[in-house]
Chains A and B, each alone.
Chain A
Amino acid sequence: MTGKRTGSPVSQSRAALFPSMWALFLLVLWAFGITAAGQDTGWLNPSADSGSFRNPTYAYYDDTLWASASPGDVHVYWGYSIAIPPGASVTGIEVRLDAWRWPSGVPFDAFLDVQLSWDGGASWTPPYTAGPLAGYEQSWILGGPNDGWGRSWFASDFQPDRFRVRLTARKGRETRLDWVAVRVYFSGGLSLTLNPTTVNLGTLTLDDYERGYRDWDSVQEIKLSAYSSWTLYVSATSSAWSYTGDLPDPKKPCGHLLWKVLPSPTGPVTRYQANFTPLSTSDVEVAAGSAGNAVLQTAFRLLVDYDTTRPGIYSLDFRYTLVSP
């Protein structure tokens, strides 16, 4: 990629819109906000920096403080807490600069060049440029939802010490920077893994018949990752167990397999099914939670009776589905 690409500021003018038009505008924003929910990280703050900007930490947050730079100053920000769910594909990156030139009355153009690093500063993308900066604060958004700044990105590129933003002040007298934020877009940010995938209840004994059930002597670990709120469901793929044997198929109901979530799941789990629940062909909620990584452990119990548990081999397929709105 050659040449420099120049961004455009987000308008901060106060258009005299009719109230009804404002309402419509907000509705549109809300609609597209829903679309974007779970597909990007939101604006994230840096937490570390180095370079020649003055008061550089003042650019960590969107507030009333600012960092400042003279022409030629270079500064690197990093420490962004960018969480890309396992299995997600990064589609684009945006850098937001809330910046302006100072003094405002001086008609010198000022610019901020922005580059990204994925390896702790050893390599850099070609620059994007914000500018010419106005004499008042404007939000410059460089990149976009489908802009990888000239490369493909992986989740590991966003570790806080690897992903960095380098700013270079050019021209003007002084450049002021209120906030240097990053937003990463991704798709498919849901992941779900099971260990083990097979719930082998072993070989039944007469004691199981007398007890009326057999508990699995292990647990199934469910690891999930979701960027936004989530709900995990489980359902059987058929209403009866598959039977292989020399007797007529007893058509053991899928509901004879009971499951429950063991106490104290890890991660942002807000509710879970703690009581044994029959499997059914309809989706039944296993757990729900908020964004992040969670680990659940499920226990299984097989109901055993003489009428539907005849000698033979049985199997039942079931499926977990992780849904994020």
Chain B
Amino acid sequence: MRSVKVLAVLLGAVMGVVTGLAQTSVSQGSTATFAVPTLIRLTVNTATINFGSLTMDDYDLGYKELTSGQIVTVWSNRSWTLTVAADSATWTGPWAKPASDLQLKVASVSKPDRVSSYASAYFGLSTTAANVAVGVPGGNIAFTMDFKVLLSWDNDVAGNYSLGFTYTLTAP
């Protein structure tokens, strides 16, 4: 009887090996690919910043401020830089009012973790691009912009004034 038990144990071991060896398999490889170009998008919620009709109080104050006058939104899958520049050195109007009389700043940012730095203080426009913000890849990064036009009793005669300016988003 003992020999039978030993034989049974041996058979069990053999079966285990045989069962393991009996498993078969076949494999096929596959490859997934995709391409990512540099992708950037820049939008503004309104193209016109209208200060309206000025008053004597505005002149007395020396400026008129328009808060939250515009929302600029950025998408980029690379690190990016947002700049702004005046289209011309002066306003069109009764006199050659300098572009620098239009000032702007970033009032708030929707995704601060995607923005390395931004212009939190007013600065005057020029035809040379100035940084509005610099950031890392991200999407739907919204900047709320405040504007200020500087006024002078001495220079700003009555009339209609306009100045074009352009935002540029760069992802080198």
Task: Please give the residue numbers on chain A whose beta carbons come within 8 Å of chain B beta carbons, in ascending order.
Answer: 20-21, 23-24, 27-28, 30-32, 34-35, 37-38, 87, 188-194, 197-206, 209-210, 214, 220, 237, 245, 247, 257, 300, 302, 306-307, 309-325
Q: Which residues of B contact A312 (CB under 8 A)?
A: 35-36
- Give Cα A318 to B31, complex, Å: 6
Binds A, one of B15-23, B92-100, B116-124, B156-164: B15-23
- Give Cα A191 to B18, complex, Å: 22
What is the size category of the interface that chain B forms with chain A?
Answer: 35 or more
Given contacts A198-B31, A200-B34, A220-B30, contact A322 B25 (CB under 8 A): yes
Point out the residue from B15, B25, B28, B77 that lies within 8 Å of A306, measured CB to CB: B77
Contact A204 B24 (CB under 8 A): no
Binds A, one of B44-52, B57-65, B126-134, B136-144: B136-144
**Which 8 pairs of residues, A with B, have the shortest CB-CB distance?**
A201-B34, A31-B15, A306-B137, A199-B32, A323-B25, A190-B26, A321-B27, A315-B33
Task: Please give the residue numbers on chain B whose beta carbons come within 8 Å of chain A beta carbons, in ascending order.
Answer: 1, 4, 7-8, 11-12, 14-15, 18-19, 21-39, 41, 75, 77-78, 114, 136-140
Q: Which residues of A contact B78 (CB under 8 A)?
A: 247, 310-311
Contact A203 B18 (CB under 8 A): no
Given contacts A188-B24, A197-B29, contact A27 B8 (CB under 8 A): yes
Point out the residue from B12, B14, B23, B31 that lies within 8 Å of A199, measured CB to CB: B31
Contact B31 A194 (CB under 8 A): no
Contact B32 A206 (CB under 8 A): no
Sample (22) of A-B pairs whose CB atoms are under 8 Å apart = A24-B11, A27-B11, A31-B19, A34-B15, A35-B21, A188-B26, A191-B26, A192-B27, A197-B28, A201-B33, A203-B35, A204-B39, A206-B75, A311-B36, A311-B38, A313-B33, A315-B33, A316-B31, A320-B27, A322-B26, A323-B24, A325-B19
